[in-house]
Amino acid sequence: MTGKTLFITGASSGIGAATARMAVARGWRVGLFARREDRLRDLVRELGADNALALPGDVTQMADQQAALQRMTDAFGPLHAAFANAGRGLDAPGTEWGEVDEWQDMIRINILGLLFTAKAALPFLKETQGHLLLTGSAAGRIHIKGSVYGASKWFVHGYGGNLAEEMREWGGRCTVIAPGMVDTEFFDEAKPKAIRPDEVAGAALYALEAGDHAAVREVFLMPR
């Protein structure tokens, strides 16, 4: 049992919820941040109020994330890790047929929301020489015809490396968790051959629980 604390955005379903379940099973206490308060409260009931805290809010609002982190540390003590996991895709692929409003909404979540998580969490993580996880994607490691979504994940991979160097100066660590297709609500129908959310959660916990002298910069998972 670690007794450590983990803040997770996009925690109401998919990778975020799976990571919360696995972290609690391994002794972590978790702060669950997402817009869907009803789902967060259901997850807290499942995990136990001593282990999990519902933190409803909008990832695109810096003030929401700052307030959530303060609430979490007031309840659970020092922050040891944060997982910038919230993200969304696009209904209209490519550039020519892409919808500008969709691009703006995606960039607010996939890029600005992630930046806000990093900025809000770093002051807390500095106190513990803590760890920041970012959800990247296989789409951020390859070129996909016209993919604006893929470009948003290229940002995550580039920024993750830059942030790892910044955090290294004070003993912190940053890891990009980069899965291929994951069977979550991200897709309209089930993807039985895709990676399961709990498999991505396992990658996140692997990075978080690496030895004191190991910095796992990226975990890249693909369906078999």
Q: List the catalytic residues.
A: 149
Residues comprising the chain, all counted: 224
* Dihedral over Cα of 25, 43, 189, 59: its sign: negative
115 to each of 108, 143, 155, how far by Cα in Å?
A: 10, 23, 11
Residue 25 and residue 43: Cα distance in Å, rounded? 13
Q: Residue 155 carries which side chain, given as an amino acid letter?
A: F
The structure tokens listed for 100 are: 């500008």
Task: With beta carbons less than 8 A apart as the criterion, state whether 84 and 118 touch.
Answer: yes
Residue 103 and residue 41: Cα distance in Å, rounded? 30
133 to each of 23, 33, 53, 96, how far by Cα in Å?
A: 13, 15, 19, 33
Residues β-bridged to residue 179: 221
2 to each of 24, 35, 71, 72, 158, how far by Cα in Å?
A: 10, 28, 21, 17, 30
The structure tokens listed for 13 are: 């379903």
Task: With beta carbons less than 8 A apart as the criterion, state whether 46 and 68 touch.
Answer: no
